[in-house]
Structure 1
Amino acid sequence: MTGESSNGSAEAIRVDGVTRTYGDVTAIDDLSVAIGGGQYHCLLGPNGSGKSTLMRLILGLTRPTSGSIDRPDAQIGCGFQHPNFYPGLSVRENIHIFARIVGADDWDWNQTVVTELRLSRALDREAGDLSGGFARRLDLALALIKKPGFLLLDEPLGALDDVSQTRLLDFLGRYAGDGNTVLVSTHEITEFEPYVDRITVLHRGELVFDRRVDEIPLDGDESLQSYYVDTVLAREGISVDEE
């Protein structure tokens, strides 16, 4: 293993020495990390770093080639880059049907999710006719309906307008503040920086570092995004001066 994880929360998803290969390609290489503790957690890395593969492994959508993943009993909600819902049904029908499937009968919470994600004016529209931004919002709503203790979102800001991005970021911050764990994967942390508690950086399937934000040694006005980019470039043997 190339890096270390020090998240010691008892209520955590624990990835222990996991490797995932596809033929000759190693997507995840001997990775150990813990995700939990009611944190707003950012999984950061360039394209092809293994972020989506790790999310799929955690969710049980694919199996590790070696190693193990321990999941607590808490509900896990997820949202991927490609929204998943019933396109022939309205937004309202999608929410009601999904809520009944997962036993989410807190309709006050469902209304809160609809309001926070700015879906109210689209409730009676057919889901298959939604624009990319509304489709993403519906997918996020379905991930949140069951009040999951762990919420895993793959590039959640994609296709969202600036107002919806701000509302979502703030809502996720409050959701994590209520004791839930939020894990978002992205290659751009700038928008998340005011909210995130912990960062895990992957590069070519390996763990580069896993730290609380307040443990990251930033210089002066250096941003988390700059620190991350410099770290990845150094990993590839490229100095900032060379760039």
Structure 2
Amino acid sequence: MQYKSIKRFVGDNSEFIVINNGQTPTMKAQIEAQCNILGVKYYNVEPQLPYSSSPSVSHGMLLQWTFDHIAIHDKNCISCFMDADMFFINKPNFIKDMDKYDVAGVPFSNQHINYLWPNLLFMNIDRLPNKSDMNFMCGYIDGLYVDTGGFLYYWMKNNNNLKVKDISNFHVIESTRNNLHRLPADIRKNYLDEFEFHIIENMILHYSHGSNWNNMGDDYHVRKTELIILFVEGCINGNIMLTDD
């Protein structure tokens, strides 16, 4: 479904690449088989990255491997890191202006430590300064914890002429935030606050917590997945039209 959303809203002038870090031979083979069915390019992470009980560390290692082995070598294109539980629901109109920027992402911070959320990150590779210094790991800086991508702080600090487009129109959909109106009516009537959909720039729908690090039950994910499919497929097929922000 992610692939379908990209083809629908980004278009044929794009390439969808899967990074296959399946944790078992069976899982890795299943990912390969699905990519072959769709005709999608994939890279197997070799050698297998070391296991970490921390999802943030595992995520950071995978992003670093992907950047160092693949993205850094891209030419004449915009490379995008995108979590597997994100789906386009509208055209990314800002992409046409990316020739003016080095990178576009959601700003994160912990006090004075500013960085970009790497889960959705657009990179104009040809423009990136000192790109080999980009570090997607997590940890502590000046005694403050930063999540995956937090070490991008150093790269951003050392390249103060960096042209950054903030993707700041980021909405966690909850009734307590008075933003349920951002959901189409057919989705809103079955929506629960604990689903915590994210709508980003009115172009991306993020399932959120897709790895189930918050330990929700099977029934929760069945109902949430059904609603996500209804939402995304509706946008792809034109049955759901999003209102402008």
Fold match by TM threshold 0.5: no
Higher normalized contact order (CA 8 Å, seq sep 6+, divided by chain length): 1
TM-score normalized with structure 2 length: 0.27
TM-score normalized with structure 1 length: 0.27
Larger helix proportion of the pair: 2
